[in-house]
Structure 1
Amino acid sequence: MLVLVVLCISSGLGYRFYNQPKLDVGKIAPQTLIAPYSASVEDVTTTEEKRREAHSGASAVWVVDREVNEEIYQNLQVLLTQGREIRAQLGNFPFYKTAILSTATQTYLRQAPQPQWQILLQTLEKNSNFTNLNSEQQRAVRELRTYRQFNSPQAFTQLLKAIASARQNYNLALTTLNPEEIFPQNTHSIYNQPLIIYDESFLNLADADWQKTQIQVRQTLERMLAQGIYPGISPDTLKSAIAMQVSVSIPQTAQPLANRLLLAVIQGNLVKDIEQTKLIAEQAAKAVKPIIVSIPKGEVIVSAGTTITQTNFVLLDYFQLSQRSIDWLRLTQFTVIVGLAVAIFRWVEIRFKAKLRRKDYILIILLILSAPLLLFLSKSLTGLPAIGLLVGSFYGTAIGGTVMGLLTILLSIGSGMSWHNLIPSAAGGILGGFMAGQWRFPGREGLRTREELATLGILIALTQGVVYLLVNTAIAPLWYTVLGTAALKSLAGLIWSILALGLSPYLEALFDLVTPIRLAELSNPNRPLLKRLAHEAPGTFQHTLFVATLAEAAARALNCNVELVRAGVLYHDIGKMHDPLGFIENQMGSPNKHDEINNPWKSAEIIKKHVSEGLVMARQYKLPSAIRAFIPEHQGTILIAYFYQQAKQQQQDNPQQILQESDFRYDGPIPQSRETAIAMLADACEAALRAQKDATPEAALAMVNNILKARWQDRQLVDSGLTRQEMSQISHVFVQVWQQFHHQRIAYPKL
């Protein structure tokens, strides 16, 4: 079986080794090979590589974002409005004719500290020497004395009032220079901290220069935005560009202010045009012409002892000189790798106690071989998401994840599939194998509805698309150029998931499989067989429900397959429908049928027949073998003690009768799994627990332990895998469930 499996998988997955050239790229030519005739051959491999490089190397197309431009203009307008408000408080500047007082003198007189202004006034009033004053004060005194000398006292007084008013306005405007208000912290500038836009130098700017600055700053901004600002531009580079633009259009005294204004508002206004970039990338790939290799008749293709290049190989392969044949060495090596993979699979199967049947191996092999078959039909089709979903849902996470991981490795070696197509498909398949098989994990009940599997299919589709995007972004920095292909990969993943969902019921029926979804469907009380049981044997049906409650609780505590236990127990006694009144739970107070028979051998046959008849019904209704196993194994080979004791009593009265214990034992087999063993123990304890209405929990636990001990000593559980420690755990769970059913109730007063 092992040899057959290894040969089957290696021959299916290693098809690339069937037609391998001996004279391949990188090998040494053993002899000189000459072209038998003239030919022009396309180098498909090189052409595809160059087209891929052209597609991934296409430059991004940047366009101006008008919304960003509008935001920048609005920010500039806000700052200019704040500047005009400050200038309105300041008043006109120069505040007096420059022919009388120079701009420098007016600047000094307006911003001079109050002590200096008082000294200057005293000097003018006393007409004293001013050699002890600084240069600015001396210039101001000279200009003021000159004006006073040639004008009337009233005119000079008006001049002093004008100076005092300008000083008052200046001090008021000076208090409004708050950088936090002028340029808030949440600006979109490339700087992360507030800039001081308006300082004292702004107050000393002439009105004409301020008006010109406002116009030129906006025009400069329009030019720079029209040229485009990249989002990633560094602050220093932007600062240099602004300074260059400002130096040619704005008055020198206002250039620092203009630099600050533009630095405050400018941000990247270029965005990538994804559609145009994709179009250019596709056009660049299409523009790559096929690489044609030409050679005239009689010319040397490759000389002896030289290394074969790609160009050489194209010609050799075209002329059928590459000596293609089965590469037995590499095929043998691949077979060894497959053997190692099968050994790993077998170890996982034993480690997680999967207990696969021969038909399970056949199905897994068929699913594995479907991958190279699809690859043979199309280089981009693998079906790995569908394979992962099916294997995971059929055999659980351990088997599903192992199969998908090993299959990915073997496909990469044996098929030579490109990794940027293989990895996304493998990611979807491995995710499907793990997620669909969660029901095999301890404490997990898995995906129990088709809707949950459909949701998993969507997740697989998204995973496949995202992984394709990530993998191909490594070779294509412009990720959006492969966005369309990634969307197609997602769609392919969804289609594979839908296909797996559609195939699942047929494979379940053909290979006799059980999944959480099928088990949930079989546990529906509206199933025909269960409806018959409830109608024809209502007592047995109630007994079945309580046994199912006990068994399900124990299975969950022992991390067994809860869905299988629930479904199996619901069908374990269907055979009692062949003669419902032969079982006391269906007699409903009527006379006991077995009292009328008065033949323990015949009564035992009736009791034992519910197993054989149950198997007949199960096959008739096409129940899975995993469910059918509960019918004989829940009884094992236990003794029908009541009628056996009756037979012993009759033998004492009639010693000639032959009494064989085997006549009063079920035919078996004994439980072969933990799940059927739990069903046996729950079935054995159900009637006893139901009868314990007024018993204490301690008494109920002692009774349950005695029943379990009897099954253990009767060697009914030797093949089940249950341990003594788990037996104790099961007894406590049974008593807990019993307590829940027999909890105390309030005593209501009589009407």
Structure 2
Amino acid sequence: MKKRFYAAGMFVFVVLSLSSGLGYRFYNQPKLDVGKIAPQTLTAPSSAHVEDVKTTEERRRETRSGTLAVWVVDPEINQQIHSYLQQLLATGALIRDKLGNFPLTKTTVLSTATQIYLRQAPESQWQTVLQTLEKNRNLNGLNLSQQLAVKQLRTYRKYNSSQAFSQLLKALIQARQRYNIALSSLRENALAQPKTLYDVTLLNLSDADWQKTQIQVRQTLDRILAQGIHPEVSKDNLNYAIEMQVSASVPKTAQPLARQLLLKVIVPNLIKDIEQTKLIAEQAAQAVEPTIVAIQKGEVIVKAEDKITHANFVLLDHFNLSQRGIDWLHLIRFSGMVGLAVAFFRLVEKRFSSKLRSSDYILILLLTLSAPLLIVLTKSFTGLAAIGLLVGSFYGASIGGTVMGLLAILLSIGTELSWHDLIPSAAGGIVGGLMAGQWRFPGREALRTREELASLGILIGLTQGVVYLLVNTALAPLWYNVLGIAVLKSLAGLIWSILGLGLSPYLEALFDLVTPIRLAELSNPNRPLLKRLAHEAPGTFQHTLFVATLAEAAARALHCNVELVRAGTLYHDIGKMHDPLGFIENQIGSPNKHDAINDPWKSAEIIKKHVSEGLVMARQYKLPTAIQAFIPEHQGTILIAYFYHQAQQQKEQNSQQILYESDFRYDGPIPQSKETGIVMLADACEAALRSQKDITPEAALAMVNKILKARWQDNQLVDSGLKRAEMSQIAHIFVQVWQQFHHQRIAYPKL
């Protein structure tokens, strides 16, 4: 009953503490707020010009977000475009070089169309033209191109010498040969480049038109690129722009080729000038005039029964007419939400985590309350990154993730922190809580060094920066306008992580915490206490190492805290340093001290004293309570059987002597956790296993099962959480480890 009252009292205290800390926004809430109905007509007690800060900031934020990007021409892209065009024109020129000069003669003698026809006409048609000329046949049966060619050739022959006419025919024959060579080259180019834009149109251009086309295409490209090609320009608009430029400057016969060339090479050449855009956006935001709400003395601010607008509220708040005070209704509702959050936390604790101590609750409460305190002091920083890192590393991922998730929700309701700042901080805190606490997950390796946690700090910082960027660019496409602030958020996350790491050792010592990192540090054999043990009681130290090997293997198989088992085992027998020779493992080549004492009661006291002396040493060296628990609990209340048997023999010889079994039992307590229970079993089996060298694994297993059964039947494990079915699993693991230590070796021949 007493425990229930205490638990209920603690629950109420925690809820009130969190409600008062996280819900501070409800302490100064206006009764006459935006959207509420005015109970009476309120007038201005004096004239005033009041700046509406909230509206001003919103307008400036909208202006920043709505600023159009500044686009500039990229010289590198232009250079690539010109190089590509030059390559295409060079290819065309190479093909045309095989044609020779064109036209062959003056167009007043043979028209361009006739010259083109005669150069590319099929051989049969060419022969028909020659025969018609030679035999002066009529033109019946010839096509229009042949008729025109024959007429123009006859006219040339009529007014020129036969020698001139023969030279003209000879030139036509050579042109036909060159044309076929150029046509073959054109086809080869088409095969090599299936998407080539050149066809016979290239061959039919006059030399003058080809030269003019090259010049005009380059100039047209310069004009278009100077205007800039936007990445989102449509193909139709680009086609239209090229058509307008080409039709005004390029010869008509070459216009299709010019359009194809330009379409082939032109790509968007505008890029965003981020710095200039940011500068213009900021200048535009600063140019936004503050929103001023003006009123004259005696004017009505809001009439009775009217809904209060934001402008009304600005004036009411300025004149202290908004009736600010504690909003008890919302504060009580918020307290109810806090109560649900605390209840959910308790469910997670019972389901996924080991039972927390009162000091653990106090630490989590203090860390949680530090968040609203930082918000009040800084208006934007929450410290959630450091809180998540600390809670996760102290209590595991389930507790760390739960605390940070609930804290983020409660902060969004109970504080006035902008969601632009809260969401990135909460994301960083949740990442820290989950990643720093992954050592609680079965099969996951613990973060055992400060360096690993420092690396996690970098991840937390990156998370905060990226989430801030995503949150603040959800409605604004100009992400680079907030890039600088996102970088600052990343640095803030990293700095908070560094502060958390710096606080961690002090909090561990102050609240008696054991984390994987602290346990790894305590397990270092160069620790002063372990160095003393190795030097002053070497046999005990070797015994400790083998017990640690057995216990670790069992703890790993049962998904226990392996780091705690390792550290606890290393310190479980430090009390034997008070009298090393009182223990058999340290009596190397020396007579047994207890034979000289010859008093089982005194010998039992010496043996039992290693527990009490061990606790004294542990407190002196400030070992955590969780480590100290291994010192008495690994012995529990077991019987010191050897000396108890001696005492029984002496009582048989002296019947007046009083014998109490409790004098030969350790004072306890019995193991209170699986970890200390495993170490008790490993300690009991270590000497028996190490002394056996030639027995079979089956015999070793039978011996270990017998020892474990004795501990179970002696009720030493009833509070440990170990199950009877796990005894067999532990026994098999102990024997496997023993076999690894005592495997057979090759018998080397004598030299």
**When the two structures are superposed, what TM-score results if normalisation uses the length of structure 2?**
0.97
Alignment match, 2:516: 516
Q: Which amino acid aligns with 1:135?
A: L
Deviations 1:47-68 (A, max 9, x none): 1111111111111111111111
Q: Which amino acid aligns with 2:229?
A: I
- The 3-state SS of whatever aligns with 2:19 is helix
- The 3-state SS of whatever aligns with 2:249 is coil
Offset, 1:235: 2.5
Whole-Å separation in 1 of the counterparts to 2:95 and 2:360: 86
Deviations 1:3-51 (A, max 9, x none): 1111111111000011111111111112111111111111111011111
Q: Which amino acid aligns with 1:162?
A: A
Deviations 1:450-479 (A, max 9, x none): 111111111111111111111111132111
Aligned CA distance change for structure 1 residues 234 and 729 (closer, same or farther; 3 Å): farther
Whole-Å separation in 1 of the counterparts to 2:24 and 2:159: 113
Alignment match, 2:621: 621
Answer whether contact 1:79 1:182 (CA < 8 A) is retained: no
Whole-Å separation in 2 of the counterparts to 1:182 and 1:305: 84
Alignment match, 1:728: 728
Whole-Å separation in 1 of the counterparts to 2:361 and 2:107: 104
**Which one of 47, 56, 62 corresponds to residue 65 of structure 2?**
56
Alignment match, 1:38: 47
Q: Which amino acid aligns with 1:490?
A: S
Whole-Å separation in 2 of the counterparts to 1:366 and 1:220: 72
Offset, 1:124: 2.1
Answer whether contact 2:536 2:580 (CA < 8 A) is retained: yes
Answer whether contact 2:26 2:414 (CA < 8 A) is retained: yes
Whole-Å separation in 2 of the counterparts to 1:115 and 1:703: 112
Alignment match, 1:4: 13
Alignment match, 1:125: 134
Alignment match, 2:4: none
Deviations 1:307-352 (A, max 9, x none): 1111000001111111111111111111111111111110111112
**Which one of 104, 107, 118 corresponds to residue 95 of structure 1?**
104
Whole-Å separation in 2 of the counterparts to 1:481 and 1:195: 42
Alignment match, 1:189: none
Alignment match, 1:634: 634
Alignment match, 1:558: 558
Offset, 1:178: 4.5
Alignment match, 1:191: none
Q: Which amino acid aligns with 2:301?
A: I
Whole-Å separation in 2 of the counterparts to 1:175 and 1:313: 85
Offset, 1:181: 6.2
Residues 55-454 of structure 1 correspond to what in structure 2 (within 5 A)? 55-178=64-187, 195-454=195-454
Answer whether contact 2:567 2:627 (CA < 8 A) is retained: yes
Offset, 1:183: 9.2
Deviating beyond 4 angstroms after TM superposition, the runs of 4 or more aligned structure 1 residues are 178-184
Q: Which amino acid aligns with 1:432?
A: G
Aligned CA distance change for structure 1 residues 661 and 476 (closer, same or farther; 3 Å): same
Deviations 1:243-302 (A, max 9, x none): 111111111111111101111111111111111111111111111122111110000001
Alignment match, 1:706: 706
Offset, 1:387: 0.1
Alignment match, 2:531: 531
Whole-Å separation in 2 of the counterparts to 1:727 and 1:9: 45
Whole-Å separation in 2 of the counterparts to 1:416 and 1:726: 53
Whole-Å separation in 1 of the counterparts to 2:413 and 2:427: 17
Whole-Å separation in 1 of the counterparts to 2:354 and 2:54: 45
- The 3-state SS of whatever aligns with 2:98 is helix
Deviations 1:117-155 (A, max 9, x none): 122222222222222111111111111122223333332
Offset, 1:565: 0.6
Offset, 1:236: 2.6
Answer whether contact 2:190 2:196 (CA < 8 A) is retained: no
Deviations 1:212-235 (A, max 9, x none): 111111111111111111123233
Deviations 1:469-492 (A, max 9, x none): 111111321111111000100110
**When the two structures are superposed, what TM-score results if normalisation uses the length of structure 1?**
0.97
Offset, 1:747: 1.4
Whole-Å separation in 1 of the counterparts to 2:627 and 2:190: 78
Whole-Å separation in 1 of the counterparts to 2:181 and 2:456: 70
Answer whether contact 2:700 2:735 (CA < 8 A) is retained: yes
Deviations 1:400-446 (A, max 9, x none): 11101110111111113211111111111111111111111112231
Which range moved further: 118-127 or 342-351? Answer: 118-127
Whole-Å separation in 2 of the counterparts to 1:722 and 1:622: 29
**Structure 2, unaligned stretches of length 5 or more?**
1-9
Offset, 1:589: 2.7
**Structure 1, unaligned stretches of length 5 or more?**
185-193
Answer whether contact 1:670 1:717 (CA < 8 A) is retained: yes
Whole-Å separation in 2 of the counterparts to 1:448 and 1:608: 35
Whole-Å separation in 2 of the counterparts to 1:726 and 1:47: 68
Whole-Å separation in 1 of the counterparts to 2:80 and 2:700: 79
Answer whether contact 2:353 2:398 (CA < 8 A) is retained: no
Q: Which amino acid aligns with 1:452?
A: E
Aligned CA distance change for structure 1 residues 353 and 81 (closer, same or farther; 3 Å): closer
Whole-Å separation in 2 of the counterparts to 1:355 and 1:180: 80
Whole-Å separation in 2 of the counterparts to 1:171 and 1:180: 14
Deviations 1:185-222 (A, max 9, x none): xxxxxxxxx64322111211111111111111111111
Answer whether contact 2:533 2:577 (CA < 8 A) is retained: yes
Offset, 1:723: 1.8
Answer whether contact 1:389 1:436 (CA < 8 A) is retained: yes
Answer whether contact 1:179 1:195 (CA < 8 A) is retained: no
Offset, 1:237: 2.1
Whole-Å separation in 2 of the counterparts to 1:605 and 1:596: 15
Alignment match, 1:719: 719
- The 3-state SS of whatever aligns with 1:177 is helix
Whole-Å separation in 2 of the counterparts to 1:180 and 1:352: 72
Alignment match, 1:472: 472
Whole-Å separation in 1 of the counterparts to 2:475 and 2:379: 20
Q: Which amino acid aligns with 1:97?
A: K
Alignment match, 1:188: none
| 1:694 and 2:703 matched | no
Aligned CA distance change for structure 1 residues 217 and 179 (closer, same or farther; 3 Å): farther
| Equivalent pairs, count | 742
Alignment match, 1:656: 656
Alignment match, 1:647: 647
Whole-Å separation in 1 of the counterparts to 2:213 and 2:240: 19
Alignment match, 2:683: 683
Alignment match, 2:32: 23
